[in-house]
Amino acid sequence: PSSQRSWVTVCPIVAITFPAAVQAVLWTRYRIAWGATVSILGLLFGEWINRYFNFWGWTYFPMDFVFPANFIPSAIFLDTVLVLSNSFTLTAIAGGMGWGLLFYPSNWPIIAPFTFT
C-alpha cells in the first residue's frame, strides 16, 4: 500500500509542526532552546503511558516503521541550529532540512535488530 511507502516523506513533514511550535514559544518568551527536544520527550512519555496502560483507542491504527524515538536526533539538531544561529529563519530553513534528512538514518539503529541477513 502507498501508506507503507510514504512514511519517509509524510511523517517528518507532519511531525515537525508541534516541536517547532513549542520551540518558538519557549525561545520567544524564555530564551530556552530545548523546546523541540522536550516536546519529543513528551511524545515518548505518551507512548510509554499508552503501552503501559494498554490504551485500546489506537488498536486499529495502521502500523508503519515510525517510532517516536526517531525524532530525538532531529529535535536535538533543530534545537542546536536555533542556539547557534539565534534566528528563526535559519532554523526553519537549515533546521527543517536537517529534521527531514536525519529522520531516515535515525531509524536504522532501531530497525537493525529486526533485519535478517
Give Cα separations from 105 to 78, 80, 92, 100 (angstroms).
16, 18, 20, 10
Residues of the chain with pLDDT under 50: none
Q: Give the predicted TM-score (pTM) of the model.
A: 0.82
Locate the domains of the chain by residue range: 2-114
Closest alpha carbon to 66 in 1, 8, 2: 8
For residues 64 and 89, give the distance between their C-alpha atoms in angstroms, rounded to a whole number.
32
pLDDT (tens digit per residue) in 47-74: 788 777 776 666 665 555 567 788 999 9
Residue 35, number of CB atoms within 10 A of its CB: 24
Distances in Å between the Cα of 11 and the Cα atoms of 42, 53, 62 are: 17, 25, 13
Return the CATH number of the domain spanning residue range 2-114: 1.20.1450.10
The pLDDT assigned to 51 comes to 73
